[in-house]
Amino acid sequence: MSGVTFTVDDAVRIARAAHDGQVDKSGRPYVEHPLRVMGRVSGEHARMAAVLHDVVEDTAVTADDLRAAGCPAHVVGTVVALTHRPGEPQEDYLRRVAADPVAVEVKRADIADNTSPPRMALLDPPSRARLRAKYARALDLLDALS
């Protein structure tokens, strides 16, 4: 993409390809989640980061792959901030998110989508309770850190 501006549509194409074949806990195509998160934020930087927010964490795509595709460095930085590394304590992860204002916006949108009533209704009661507690704690930590 040398010399060509990277767009939100490019980010969506990468997300769709990266998440192809993945399904969420209810059996729906996983890419629907990052697309909904993207719909909850505004501005190109946030929209690109939102649709790509799980690509590095949950697929074979790397930050270097995003850069090679022409994704702007600041968007890649936000995606990296949003990538929870294996074995990483939640507090360390959220501290990194809190250091990037766009990552905070995307993470809040991610949590809002993950805890939306239609999504929660698809889960069994123990899973709902566990996830509500997990996300409430994450929001409390983000509030304290940002």
- Does the pTM exceed 0.75? yes
26: exposed, middle or buried (C-beta count within 10 Å: 0-12, 13-18, 19+)?
Answer: exposed
Q: Rounded to an integer, what distance in angstroms lies between the CA atom of residue 14 and that of residue 120?
A: 27
Full residue range of the structural domain in which residue 66 is found: 8-145
Q: How confident is the model at residue 38 (pLDDT cuts 50, 70, 90)?
A: very high
pLDDT at 1 over 50: no
Quickly list H helices, 53-100. Answer: 55-58, 63-68, 73-81, 90-98
> How many domains would you assign to the chain?
1
Per-residue pLDDT reduced to its tens digit, 52-78? 999 999 999 999 999 999 999 999 999
Q: Is 111 contained in some domain?
A: yes
φ/ψ of 83, rounded to 5, equals: -90, 110
In this prediction, residues 131-143 reach a mean pLDDT of 94
Q: Rounded to an integer, what distance in angstroms lies between the CA atom of residue 97 and that of residue 142?
A: 8
Q: Is 80 contained in some domain?
A: yes
Q: Is 61 contained in some domain?
A: yes
Q: Do 78 and 103 contact (CB within 8 A), yes or no?
A: yes
